[in-house]
Amino acid sequence: MSYVWRSILKGLEVLKEGLIWRIGDGSNVNIWKDPWLPRGVTRQPSTHKGDCELEMVTELIDTSSFSWNQALITQHFHLDDVPLILSIPLRAQSEDFIAWHFDGRGLFSVKSAYKVHVEMLKREQSFQVGQGSVAIPVSTEVFKKIWKVQCPPKTHHFLWRLAHNSHPLYMNIARRGVELDTRCAVCHKFFEDGGHLFLNCKFAKQRWRGLLLEDVRLKLLPCQSALEMLEEVLDLPEKDKLLTIAFLWNWWQERNRGNHGENYQSIDRSSTQYVDTLMNGPQ
């Protein structure tokens, strides 16, 4: 492919990444496939469609009052999505239209397109790192901190992969073009990315609370990337750091063991047992 064509295609990808539907009557916008929520990269709901029969955004709008049908939205969407949907302004008697997400007025500019392009490159790089194909962008400082943690080498390796977001989470596999069910292996409800599995999954939340680490979880929640999250963890006071690492490592093992979904059984462990398992393997 010629350079010119490659540039044009790249330009189109950038354009697509930056577009968002502004809702008029919602009849042109597909709830599950179109970008319409002002959040994240896909700008789509985090709720999984499952067997929900709703298709177009217009079905979520109460036509008599021309406002969002709150009851219906609460019934069908994940808690993270509900306030976001309800915050979207509706434009009575106007058609849906496509706008540029990165400008308050929806206007496209080369400067903001450039920013989107840089973000795309960063993401592509972090996905490829999982496949071991490009140089590792993690600083030597983080590298040293990982290796200083007093834990077995297998856990260093686990943290290393966490820094690169290269664990085979279902969303990571799907991004590499594999078609699969991307719902969380534990709760079977939401897309399984690192943020969900380690921080937001309701079963993980129970563990954080049980280990009195809820403060730590809340501190990690706003992190924008796996690397940023790991850097926060590595900067925690020694005791919290070890327990958090012990939890993350154990939680990943538990997720992989396959006792998931309907049959998921919570295994109660004390903080000491968590750290013991990290250091010495399962009892």
**Which of 73, 163, 187, 220 touches Zn ion (CB under 5 A)?**
187
Q: Which residues of 74-105 are buried (b: 16+ CB within 10 A; e: fewer)?
A: eebbeeebbebbeebebeeeeebeeebbbeee
CB of residue 250 to Zn ion, shortest distance in Å = 16
Q: Does 169 bind Zn ion (CB under 5 A)?
A: no
Q: Does 278 bind Zn ion (CB under 5 A)?
A: no
Tokens of 256: 């992989």
Q: How many Å separate Cα 160 from the centre of its chain?
A: 19
The three-state (H, E, C) secondary structure of 139-160, written as one string: CHHHHHHHHHCCCCHHHHHHHH
Nearer to Zn ion, 160 or 264 (CB): 264
Q: Does 184 bind Zn ion (CB under 5 A)?
A: yes
Nearer to Zn ion, 226 or 275 (CB): 226
Residues 67-126 that bind Zn ion (CB under 5 A): none
Q: How far is CA 189 from CA 186, 197, 203, in A?
A: 8, 11, 11
Applying CB under 5 A, the span of 65-73, 176-184, 220-228, 259-267 interacting with Zn ion comes to 176-184
Nearer to Zn ion, 73 or 186 (CB): 186
Q: Which amino acid is at 266?
A: S
Closest CA to 273 of 211, 231, 190, 208: 211
Q: Does 162 bind Zn ion (CB under 5 A)?
A: no
Binding mask 117-156 for Zn ion (x = CB under 5 A): ----------------------------------------
Q: How far apart are CA 204 and CA 22, in angstroms?
A: 35
Q: Does 186 bind Zn ion (CB under 5 A)?
A: yes
CB of residue 167 to Zn ion, shortest distance in Å = 14
71 membership: H or E segment, kind and range = helix 70-76
Applying CB under 5 A, the span of 32-40, 153-161, 199-207, 238-246 interacting with Zn ion comes to 199-207
Q: How far apart are CA 143 and CA 136, in angstroms?
A: 10
CB of residue 260 to Zn ion, shortest distance in Å = 9
Q: How far is CA 128 from CA 112, 125, 245, in A?
A: 25, 5, 25
Nearer to Zn ion, 162 or 201 (CB): 201
Number of residues that bind Zn ion (CB under 5 A): 4
Q: CA 222, 105, 83 angle in degrees (round to 5)?
A: 40
What SS3 class is residue 97? strand
Q: Does 201 bind Zn ion (CB under 5 A)?
A: yes
Applying CB under 5 A, the span of 48-56, 179-187, 228-236, 261-269 interacting with Zn ion comes to 179-187
Applying CB under 5 A, the span of 136-144, 167-175, 201-209, 262-270 interacting with Zn ion comes to 201-209
Q: Does 29 bind Zn ion (CB under 5 A)?
A: no
Nearer to Zn ion, 29 or 184 (CB): 184
Q: How far apart are CA 201 and CA 117, in angstroms?
A: 31
Checking phi first, is residue 67 left (phi over 0); if not, alpha (psi -120 to 50) or beta? beta
Nearer to Zn ion, 185 or 278 (CB): 185
Q: Give the DSSP letter of residue 90.
A: P
Residues engaged in binding Zn ion (CB under 5 A): 184, 186-187, 201
